[in-house]
Amino acid sequence: MKNFHLLFGLVVVVIFLLTGQFMDHYHNHLVGMEVGPRMLYRTRHIFILLAGLLNVGLGSYLSYRREAWRRVLQVLGSALIVVATVLFIVAFFYEPKLANLYTPLSHKGMYAILAGTFLHLFGNLGEPLKD
């Protein structure tokens, strides 16, 4: 799980760079675009960076817990964070085309990343800190 998060996070950071190039070349720096879709492209772009860096952080520091219930919380948290990351990437291409600033994928992604982060937190509460 640790190596997966690290590799996945690095791939997502590259995707972040590529989505920036997409906005630059395909949408001419978003110049002349309506405010709503422009905002959605930019915020989804930053959400991809957030998710990528969170995965890199988990991959750098995650340590498996001894108790099974703690490991279960870690695995569930990791799964939610990975799902949220995929939702943000899909949302980057899908949501700016929707009417009325409708953001179903990134909305679910934010809740998933919140829940996944807190599952990791709860799985580590009460564990002694290592030096």
* pLDDT higher than 90, residue 41: no
pLDDT band of residue 33 (cuts 50, 70, 90) is confident
pLDDT in tens, 59-72: 999 988 889 999 99
Query: Which of the pair, 47 or 23, is modelled with greater confidence?
Result: 47
pLDDT of residue 40: 87
What would the mean pLDDT of 27-36 be, rounded to a whole number?
82
pLDDT in tens, 75-105: 999 999 999 999 999 999 999 989 888 999 9
**Among 7, 20, 17, CA closest to 56:** 7
What Å distances lie between residue 95 and 6, 19, 78, CA to CA?
Answer: 27, 14, 24
Distance, CA of 64 to CA of 15 (rounded, Å): 28
What single-letter amino acid sits at 38?
R
**Among 102, 109, 92, 100, CA closest to 26:** 92
Residue 26 DSSP label: T
Would you say 44 and 95 are in contact if contact means Cβ atoms under 8 Å apart?
A: yes
Mean pLDDT taken over the chain:
92
Sorted by where each begins, the domain ranges of the chain are: 2-124
* pLDDT higher than 80, residue 106: yes
Q: How far is CA 113 from the centre of its chain?
A: 7
